[in-house]
Amino acid sequence: MSEPEKWPSADRETIVAHNLAVTEAIKQYCTYPKPQQFAVMVNGPWGSGKTHLVNSLLTELVQIDVQGKERKPIYISLYGIADVAAIDEQIHQQLHPILAHRYTRIAGIVFKGLLKTAIKVDFDKLHDTITVNSQIPDLNLADFVSGAPGRILIFDDFERAVMPPVAVLAYINQLVEHDDCKVIILANESEIHGIGTADKNTAAAYRTQKEKTVGRIFRVRANVYAAYEKLIAEIEDPGARDFLNAESETVLTIFRDSKSENLRLLRQFIWDFERLWSVLTASQRAHTAGMREIVGLLYAITLEVRAGNIKSDGPLRYGITQQMQLHNGTADELTIAASKLAKRYPSVNFDSTLLTENTILTIVQHSIIDRNDIQGQLKGHPYFMEPSEQPTWRTLWNSRNLDIDGLNDALYWFEKDFEQRTFQTAGEIMHVISLSLWLASIDQPGWDEKDIIKKLKDYIDYVCKYADWDTLNTNAIALYMSMGAAFGYMFYKSSDDNFKNLVKYLENAATVGRQRHYPQIAESLKDLMASDSEEFLRLVSFTNAGPSTYASVGVLSVIPPDDFVKILVGLPHNDQSQIAMALSIRYEQADAHEELKAELQWVTKVYASAVATLPLLQPIPRFHFKNILDQYLKKYI
């Protein structure tokens, strides 16, 4: 099949007029006094309002039979329907609700059997209910509606039936040709399995049966204007309701750009936004630009994720770095996908740093609103920070939002912080590197390209010589490099070779600087062996129960093996096991970390020293200590 029709943008009056014409045509079809011997199909994507439109007609489609009794339209959901018998059962329940009741189901079975002139009941399985033997012939709708021409039936979820669509149409064809029924089919043809162009035989069979069965096809247009008014009227928080009312054009523009016409996803977005609104401060809610940016991101990502266009690792960011990669021809698959996403929603700022990709996806995919996570990000954003609280590298990063005076101030104070080596954490230094390279590349006075590399190496050397342990976190450097960002801000020059080389220089300098702290850390770990063996385990090995601060660094090798064993032998059995287990878990990761590989020589000496102490122990302690060594350490020798 071809791609579903994409409606051009239209105003409220155009959409209302179109849908009104569809409802009038359906009414005329259902009330036409003579048999027409064809069904009508109402086609449209999920959430476009097909079911709502037809349901609004139900009271007008109630018929009066020759005995003066009302005959309401029969509604059949095809969702998950695997065979004709299941359709028959739904119709039977609506035609004979009393017989369909749990306690009169046997009467319904008998009723069916009389119509079919054959019945088989498996009385061996009679308990609370009675089951019909699987050999009973299927009951056809003709048995129910015979003598009642013109019955109106609505088949919903046509594309969600398990049975082949050709079989469903053949069933419906019998109703319209032989029983003079009026049938309305609600379908999303673009989602019908097996009738795509790749399966030519199935597609041809479907088209043939459809031409025989369906005489008219109507397309419903999602009336987003009416739906939006109704949905925001249901919001309990008056502030959230007023804001979304004021920003209706922001939301409706994104809806039109998506071309999805899915009103259900609009409802889901509004629910998520109301919950997000509840964790925001008054000043955050009052920041129109910031709130508009959040609305755009949240709704566009809701549409794309829940439509299956973006996965958990999908592209969201599309900023300077991605644009440069596309321009230079170095863009990867995710960057190309991000550019397409940005083009689809030109009103949305996908380079926004208000909330991280992970936070947005957590809201959209799992409906989790983490107040602390969200506030931690928003309070650090330029929109919501006081100028005095914002680091100068971040002010400079957002230079596009500054006037000329603000820009000059940002440059002045960034240079001062650079000279004073103010920024000392891994993420900050990486931003200093990227911003400095950027300033040099655009010929900013004072940032000459010929000496910028030396200038940055001097900065790195100073920090790594005097910084504390937390500053020299090489794990953080690797993480930020893989993300291409730190603190929610992309690196300006992440694809630049100079940037990559300087980050590697930082990593090496940080390793050297960190090793200066090893003796002091080793002493603290020796104390932990005796005072808190569980904390020792959490710090030196990779577990889900602790920070694993020293899990990948060779800090233990600073401790003389004999000193380590002397402490270990003097501990209670449980602490001995805990510490030996910590070493075992630690060295399982040795292949992935160079410092741990080197430290395997140290643990070999620890094992030898421990074995040498065994003859000095009493028999029972010696037995248990040897078991610990064999279980946890011997495999690394």
Cross-strand pairs, 219: 43
Instruction: Report the pLDDT value the prediction gives residue 367, as an integer from 0 to 100.
Output: 82
Q: Is the pLDDT of residue 149 over 70?
A: no
DSSP labels for 498-520?
HHHHHHHHHHHHHHHHHHTTHHH
Q: Nearest Cα to 590, choosing from 577, 576, 602? A: 602
pLDDT exceeds cutoff 60 at 5: no
User: For the chain, what is the mean pLDDT?
Assistant: 81
Q: How confident is the model at residue 112 (pLDDT cuts 50, 70, 90)?
A: very low
- The mean pLDDT value for 360-387 works out to 81
Q: What are phi and psi of 92, to 5 degrees?
A: -60, -40
Mean pLDDT along residues 48-62: 77
94-98, 149-153, 174-178, 347-351: least confident range: 94-98
pLDDT for residue 23: 86
* Three-state SS at 204: helix
Instruction: Tell me the average pLDDT across 444-465.
Output: 94
The amino acid at residue 401 is N
Residue 103 has pLDDT above 50, yes or no: no
Query: DSSP character for 310?
Result: S
pLDDT tier for residue 325 given thresholds of 50, 70 and 90: low
> Which range scores top for mean pLDDT: 3-12, 47-56, 346-355, 571-580?
571-580
Q: What confidence tens digit (pLDDT) does each residue in 176-207 have?
A: 988 888 999 988 887 776 565 556 777 888 88
CA separation, residue 507 to residues 295, 458, 475, 493, 504 (Å): 38, 14, 9, 17, 5
Share of the chain above pLDDT 90, in %: 33
pLDDT band at 168 (very low <50, low <70, confident <90, very high): very high
Res 198: pLDDT: 52
The per-residue pLDDT for 376 is 83
**Strand 152-156 and strand 74-77: pairing?**
parallel
pLDDT of residue 240: 93
Residues 361, 436: Cα–Cα separation, whole Å: 32
pLDDT higher than threshold 80 for residue 632: yes
Phi-psi region of 528 (alpha: psi -120 to 50; beta: other; left: phi over 0): alpha
Judged by DSSP in three states, 76 sits in strand
**Higher-confidence position of 333 and 240:** 240
CA separation for the pair 88, 358 (Å, rounded): 48
- Integer Rg of the chain from CA: 35
229-254 pLDDT per residue, tens: 888 999 999 999 999 999 999 998 99
Write down the pLDDT at residue 114: 45
Distance between CA atoms of residues 414 and 533, nearest Å: 45
- What was the pLDDT predicted at 101? 47
Query: Helix H segments across 179-311?
Result: 200-213, 224-233, 238-246, 248-258, 263-277, 282-286, 288-306
**pLDDT score recorded for residue 263:** 79
pLDDT over 60 at 550, yes or no:
yes
How many helices (H) does the chain have, and how many strands (E)? 29, 9
Between residues 248 and 125, the one the model is more confident about = 248
Which residue intervals of 367-441 are DSSP H helices? 371-378, 392-397, 404-419, 426-441
Contact 298, 276 (CB under 8 A): yes
pLDDT value of position 66 = 63
Model pTM greater than 0.75?
A: no
Q: Could you tell me the pLDDT band of residue 600, with boundaries at 50, 70 and 90? A: very high
Q: Which residues contact 150 (CB under 8 A, 6 or more apart)?
A: 35, 63, 180, 181, 182
Non-local CB neighbours of 414 within 8 Å, separated by 6+ positions: 392, 393, 395, 396, 435
| Most confident by average pLDDT, 248-262, 311-325, 541-555 | 248-262
C-alpha distances in Å from residue 445, one per residue of 139, 207, 320: 87, 70, 22
Cα–Cα distance, 304 to 296 (Å, whole number) = 12
Is the pLDDT assigned to residue 7 strictly greater than 80?
A: no
Q: How far apart are CA 8 and CA 78, in angstroms?
A: 31
Q: Which stretch, 62-71, 254-263, 446-455, has highest mean pLDDT?
A: 446-455
Q: CA–CA separation, 582 vs 576, rounded Å?
A: 10
Which amino acid is present at 172? I
Six token digits for residue 6: 């994409």
The pairing of beta strand 74-77 with beta strand 489-490 = unpaired
What does the alpha-carbon distance between residue 225 and residue 15 come to, in Å, rounded to a whole number? 9
Of the candidate ranges 95-99, 132-136, 295-299, 454-458, the one whose mean pLDDT is the lowest: 132-136
Rounded average pLDDT over 406-410: 89
Q: Which of 43-57, 273-287, 528-542 has the lowest mean pLDDT?
A: 43-57
pLDDT at 335: 67
Query: How are the residues of the chain apportioned to helix, strand and coil, as percentages rounded to the nearest 5?
Result: 60, 5, 35
How does pLDDT run across 563-595, given as a tens digit for each residue?
A: 999 999 999 999 999 999 999 999 988 888 888
Q: Could you tell me the two tokens for 194? A: 């097996």
Q: From CA 576, how far away is CA 213, in angstroms rounded? A: 79
Q: How many residues does the chain have?
A: 637
CA distances from 604 to 391, 562, 571 (A): 48, 12, 20
Within 10 angstroms of residue 422's Cβ, the number of other Cβ atoms is 16
* pLDDT (0 to 100) of residue 113: 47
Q: Which residue has the higher pLDDT, 151 or 140?
A: 151
pLDDT bracket for residue 147 (50, 70, 90): very low
CA distance 188 to 168: 14
What's the pLDDT band for 438 if we cut at 50, 70, 90? very high
Residue 154's SS3 state is strand
Residue 459 to residue 423: CA distance in whole angstroms: 10
Stretch among 129-138, 431-440, 451-460 having the lowest mean pLDDT = 129-138
- pLDDT tier, 128 (very low <50, low <70, confident <90, very high otherwise): very low
Q: Which residues pair with 486 in a beta bridge?
A: 489
Three-class secondary structure of residue 128 per DSSP? coil
309: pLDDT strictly greater than 70: yes
3 state DSSP class of 445: coil
pLDDT digits (tens, 9 = 90+) for 480-535: 888 788 887 889 888 889 999 999 999 999 888 888 889 999 999 999 999 999 99
Q: Which amino acid is at 62?
A: V
What's the pLDDT score for residue 127?
37
Q: How far apart are CA 241 and CA 237, in angstroms?
A: 6
Most confident of 125-134, 312-321, 378-387: 378-387
- Give the C-alpha separation, 366 to 355, whole Å: 16
